[in-house]
């Protein structure tokens, strides 16, 4: 991955119109756009087309966290990859190595195929709630998930900034870490447990920071994006 950290803006507003209005304000910046469950279920493929119409150079991260039996995950990954609109999507690492390998095998010959990431531990987990589900500490298991992901041929992981450096040390510096739960300048954490600011993300070699509320809840989203880009 390139040494410069990338900004990925979460499009989490309650209507397509609000999201598109936000994107219009930041259309001149070199940023990625994250489209999640809510937006995609509501607005579909057309929303992706509308984003690219605003600026064809926008990169789109489709954050659907595919998690099913291997063949079903691969079917979905193939459809996403054939859109020609998505630059990155993700799956759940806890689906297992067979599922991740099946996804990568299915899309390997598709021209301009997207990057694929795997989710290790959701940033809404603290250690106790994570351990209640997975019976392991979050740091240990997140790294194990990342190693499985790396060995499966996937491009990187979605993880907390707190795990990024350890994951790279156990895989490769080229293995992508994309980190949600970023509050660039120490803003309120909201429902996220493991949050970090920009200096911490840089120290831990994060490749992509995902920022939502500090941008779209701002009175001047364009200024916030500009400030973030100046600091990364």
Residue with tokens 């209005």: 21
The count of C-alpha atoms lying within 13 angstroms of the C-alpha of 186, restricted to the half-sphere facing its C-beta, is 1
Distance CA 117, CA 145 (A): 12
pLDDT band at 27 (very low <50, low <70, confident <90, very high): very high
- pTM more than 0.85: yes
Q: Give me the number of domains the chain comprises.
A: 1
Q: Which tens digits make up the pLDDT trace of 33-68?
A: 999 999 999 999 999 999 999 999 999 999 999 999
**Total Cβ atoms within 10 A of residue 224:** 21
Report whether 84 contacts 112 (CB < 8 A): yes
**Three-state secondary structure call for residue 34:** strand
- The pLDDT, as a whole number, for residue 74 is 98
Residue 46 placed within a domain: yes
Residue 176 placed within a domain: yes
Catalytic residue among 65, 113, 141, 168: 65
Look up the CATH number of the domain holding residue 123. Answer: 3.20.20.70
- The pLDDT, as a whole number, for residue 138 is 87
Q: Which tens digits make up the pLDDT trace of 105-152?
A: 999 999 999 999 999 887 788 899 999 999 899 888 889 999 999 999
Query: What range defines the domain where residue 63 resides?
Result: 6-231
Residue 101 placed within a domain: yes
Residue 218 placed within a domain: yes
Kindly give, in sequence order, each residue whose CB lies less than 8 Å from that of residue 135, ignoring residues fewer than 6 positions away: none
52 labelled catalytic: no
Residue 1 placed within a domain: no
Q: Which tens digits make up the pLDDT trace of 142-197?
A: 899 999 999 999 999 999 898 899 999 999 999 999 999 899 987 665 655 567 99
Residue with tokens 């589900």: 133
């Amino acid at each position: 991955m390139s040494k410069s950290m990338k900004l990925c803006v979460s499009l989490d507003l309650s209507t397509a119109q609000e999201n598109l209005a936000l994107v219009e304000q930041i259309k001149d910046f070199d940023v990625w756009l994250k489209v999640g469950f809510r937006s995609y279920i509501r607005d579909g493929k057309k929303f992706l087309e509308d984003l690219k119409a605003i600026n064809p150079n926008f990169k789109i991260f489709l954050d659907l966290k595919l998690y099913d039996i291997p063949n079903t995950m691969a079917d979905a990954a193939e459809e996403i990859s054939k859109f020609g609109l998505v630059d990155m999507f993700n799956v759940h690492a806890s689906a297992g190595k067979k599922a991740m390998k099946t996804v990568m095998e299915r899309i390997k010959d598709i021209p301009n195929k997207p990057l694929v990431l795997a989710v290790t531990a959701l940033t809404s987990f603290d250690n106790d709630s994570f351990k209640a589900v997975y019976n392991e500490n979050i740091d240990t298991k997140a790294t194990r998930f990342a190693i499985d992901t790396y060995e499966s041929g996937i491009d990187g992981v979605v993880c907390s900034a707190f795990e990024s450096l350890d994951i790279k040390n156990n895989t490769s510096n080229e293995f992508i870490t994309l980190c949600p739960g970023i509050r660039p300048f120490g803003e309120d954490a909201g429902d996220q447990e493991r949050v970090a600011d920009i200096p911490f993300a840089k120290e831990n070699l994060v490749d992509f920071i995902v920022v939502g509320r500090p941008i779209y809840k701002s009175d001047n989203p364009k200024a916030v994006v500009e400030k973030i880009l100046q600091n990364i």
